[in-house]
Structure formats: structure tokens, C-alpha cells
Structure 1
């Protein structure tokens, strides 16, 4: 994306660190990519990110930085995802917010920069079709404008 990205540090094979800079100061963020299941020919990886709590040594994925740099943060996370998918690990990345509002925020970011994103990723959205007298049915589809999704899967374009 044509947005300035933060400089990242790779802490290990699956962990990345960068700092948010803004009116609230310098806030450390972490991205952790973890293997969670394989589907067909693809290995699935969960992408988690948020504010790093140095006391507890965990990511707080519910904290809002409110540092005025959300586009830059999301561009940095997207760049990390792209680099990861270019690695031999490959596969696809699953992303879901810690709550519906956060997932919606991610969707708004994807929609805002969709033309740039689709140059690098094939993006699928998870929908839930409620069926009477049966359990909910989960389905993936190419994302469409005006439709809300529960999660996203990003596949690297060939």
C-alpha cells in the first residue's frame, strides 16, 4: 500500500515488533503469526496483533492506541503478512478482530485500500448463514462491498 509503514523487527520466525508514534507517545505493538490448521493444499496461520504488555509479556488485542495512525499500523501489519506469505512457510493468513467492532474496523481498512491489497492478496470473507433447525453454516467468499464478514483469509497472489 502507498502508506508509510513503520520499521519492523523480526523477533523470531513468527513474531514481529514495531512502534506506533503519535500524540499518545510511543506504543510498542507486536504481531504474532501462529500455525493453526491446514486446508487442502494450504497451511493456515492465525495473525494476531496488538499492544505489547511488557509486564505480562502478552499482546493486548483489545487495547486502542488512539495514536492517530491506524492506517499506518494496518499497512505495517499487511506488509508483515505479505512478507510472511512470501516465505517458505507460505499458506494463507486468517485474521479476525477480538470483537465484532474490531473486525469491522479491519474490514473498513481492507475496503479503503482494496485496489492496492488485491494486487498482492486474494481476500476471502467468512460469512455465517443461519439455517433454521440446523447449526450455522460457515462459508468463505470473495469479499464484496456492502457485506459484513466475521473474519478474513488472505492468500498471496501468484
Structure 2
């Protein structure tokens, strides 16, 4: 994907990535963190503003910095880096609210041909993994670099 994105700084484990959103509200520090789940080889993608006091992710805040597409392109580039480093891992993505999960579904649908060329994509719906369809609501998504075993 050739979209404008921010420069990213990964930590030494390649599980935490930081970047700075620059927009109408100034500079906002963002963080993407991949955390193990209780499912084998599945990592949750956490994303949000970095809390300056705790250093943790605030995934409920609405930054409204006017650069959403650039921020999302940056997150997508981070997913590519993470899955290149850890090709056997699945990445689980869900929003902190149904509205954000819907936004993620819309973004995935917009770039579906690119996503499906590079990743196996599944949708979590009603307690089971299903094929992804652009107009079907999901509670979350998983993706994994192609040429690896399926979920």
C-alpha cells in the first residue's frame, strides 16, 4: 500500500511501536502494542494514544487530529512489519467500541484485494471464525501472512 504514513519506532522486542500523529491538535504520541492472547499464536493488536504519565495505551480517546488515514496507514504498515518478523502469528483486531470495529471493517473492505493478496483474513462472528465479507458485522478480525497454516 502506497499511502502516506508516519515514521515508526519499534522497541527491541518488535511488539511495541510508537509514532507521532501531527495534525490540527498538534503532536500526539501514538502506540501500537501486540500482546499474546490465551489462543495459541494469536496476538491482540492494541492501539491508541500513549498516556504520558503511565506510558500505557488509551484506546478510548478520540484524538480528532485530522490525520486518520495517515494514522491507519501507519498501523497497517506496522502490521506488515510485525507479521514479517513473526510470520506464524495471527493478529487479532477489534475496536474499543462497536463504532471503531465497524470503522476497521470499512477500512479492510476498502483495501480488501490488497489484504487478501498478502493475508489470510477471518471474521469473528457469533462465537466462531468465518470468512470475511465487507457488509457483514464482525466482533473482531484475525489476519496472518499467507503461506502459513490456517486458523
- Aligned partner of 2:57 among 35, 59, 65: 59
Q: Look up the match of 1:9.
A: 9
TM-score (norm 2): 0.90
Residues 51-90 of structure 1 mapped to structure 2, 5 A cutoff: 51-88=49-86, 90=88
Higher-Rg structure is: 1
Q: Structure 1 stretches of 5 or more lacking a match?
A: 129-137
CA–CA distance in 2 between the matches of 1:90 and 1:80?
A: 16
Q: Does 1:25 align with 2:26?
A: yes
Where in structure 2 are there 5+ consecutive unaligned residues?
none
Hey, which of these two has a bigger chunk of strand by percent? 1
Contact map agreement 1:82 1:120 (CA 8 A) in 2:
no
Give matches, 1:6-155, under 5 Å.
Answer: 6-13=6-13, 14-39=15-40, 43-88=41-86, 90-128=88-126, 138-155=127-144
Match in the other structure for 1:131: none
Tell me, yes or no, if the aligned pair for 1:71 and 1:109 is still in contact at 8 Å. Answer: no
